[in-house]
Amino acid sequence: MVLGATASALAKGPSKADKTHRFGDWQQIPDYAQEALDRMVVKGVMLGDANGFSNPSAMITNAEAAAMVVRFMGQADEAQTVDANAELTVEDKTAIPSWARQIVALALKNELFDLKNGRFNPQHPLTRLEAAKLLVKAAKLEEEATSKMDATLPFKDAKQIPASYSGYVAVAYDHGWMVGDPNGMFHPWKAISRAEWATLLNRVDTTTDVGTDEHQVKGTLTAVTVGDAPSISMTTPVFPGGVTYPVDDTCVFLVGGKEATIADLQVGDSVIINLSQDRKVLAVTVVVVKESVSGVVSAVTAATDSAPASISLQSSATVTDAVYGSTYEILPNAIVKVGDVAGALADVKVGDKVALTLERGKVSAIKVDVEVVSYTGDVTAVTQGANNQLPSITVKTADNQTQTFEVADYAQLLSATGANITMNDVKVGDRVELRVQRSLAIRVKVLAAAPAPAASDSTQPAQQPAQN
């Protein structure tokens, strides 16, 4: 039986309960990580512990992260040839578990990790900052990160991100790997769980070719056959005329981040398939094609216990017009960005011009079109904040205009070298660059410090003799 654009409901694949789950604790795997863990298991990236558990909520350690990223990069076989005793020179090499010594040695040789005082700290939990840097290094995008070290980060806690990490976080954000929480926070020092790390690797895998190997193929579905001998046909860069692969009995189907069945596949879907040694399909991941819709907001409805959040657009430029556009469901993890700053659904107002990103008809991202204006000038006044009162800064610009702006509590404050500073470091006379949106300064960068006051001349002229 061959399925067309919409698979027949009779073409049932194995249910989640029927599948061969590789971990004894699979029921503890959060919904958001289902696709990632399934794919990372099939790819041989996540192996689980000696008891057969994935421990999805446990914080991932440096040693575990190194193991997963090296396997993800297809270097597991190379790691087996490493002489760990010769290659490991870190001071705490004896603390590295025996199972990880060779793989950590290779990761350090490839400079995937930064040492702290000559130590690898194998049991140290991986933080989100460290994860961003590790992902960028694994994807070989360090040059891009270097070019973005002065980028304005769109997170409300951007001032907590060290300047040396800014470029890496910017790349991870721009590629959609690490986009922050629904409240616009990045949480740079938060430790990452094993489920979260698998999810991040999966995002890199589905958006780049880093994790591609001889067992992974990307293409577009042209036919789906079910029955006693299920198979899928697809076009790929290598086989533009099409190629057909038999589907293994244990195949996992992943659509919209969740386990599905072969019946959920549709002709035209962009997919990533993972193959066994005998070229049977072990996993099919539907890569959701994103669409964009723009318009003016006519209504925003928050989620309730019985209904998801939604947003309605009107096609006209005026809010009072009676002709409205469509209403779209908003996914729970949808990302909101207001101008240059990460936001929340509460920041989206009726009348805002927005661009929506849709995944299978549901909103995964909202970008509010807000004017961001830059001002460069000399500071004439600084008022420190107190209690619920925001601090403010007054500047005189080149055209001799004086402007005063409150400074957002999440504003990024930078020195001339790009280092993080505080409002106490901003002085009258400093030359600064401000980025302002919705009348709030969201970024303050000191371009040049105020000139030091001229030293007073304490030398007194020699006393003249009295005239008689």
62: containing domain: 24-207
Q: What is the pLDDT of residue 204?
A: 94
Judge contact between 441 and 421, C-beta under 8 A: no
Residues 364 and 419 in one domain: no
Listed residues 287, 310, 332: the one ending a domain:
287
Token look-up 């035209």 returns: 268
| Structural domains counted in the chain | 4
Q: What is the pLDDT of residue 100?
A: 93
Q: Which residues pair with 402 in a beta bridge?
A: 396
pLDDT digits (tens, 9 = 90+) for 184-241: 889 999 999 999 999 999 999 988 888 777 889 999 999 999 988 999 999 999 999 9
Distances (CA, A) of 411 to 9, 326, 384: 52, 35, 14
Residues 42 and 180 in one domain: yes
In whole angstroms, what is the distance from residue 172 CA to residue 169 CA? Answer: 5
Please compute the mean of the pLDDT values over residues 26-52 and round it to a whole number. 81
Residues 117 and 200 in one domain: yes
pLDDT digits (tens, 9 = 90+) for 370-385: 998 999 999 999 999 8
Pairing verdict, β 362-368 and 327-338: parallel
Residues 112 and 180 in one domain: yes
Residues 249 and 201 in one domain: no
Listed residues 207, 231, 262: the one ending a domain:
207
Judge contact between 161 and 154, C-beta under 8 A: no
User: Percent of the chain beyond pLDDT 90?
Assistant: 59
Judge contact between 66 and 124, C-beta under 8 A: no
What is the token pair recorded at 335? 């990302």
Residue 416 lies in a domain: yes
> Which band of pLDDT confidence, cut at 50, 70 and 90, is reported for residue 288?
confident
pLDDT at 3 over 50: no
Residue 51 lies in a domain: yes
> Which band of pLDDT confidence, cut at 50, 70 and 90, is reported for residue 456?
low
Listed residues 174, 207, 240: the one ending a domain:
207
Residue 454 lies in a domain: no
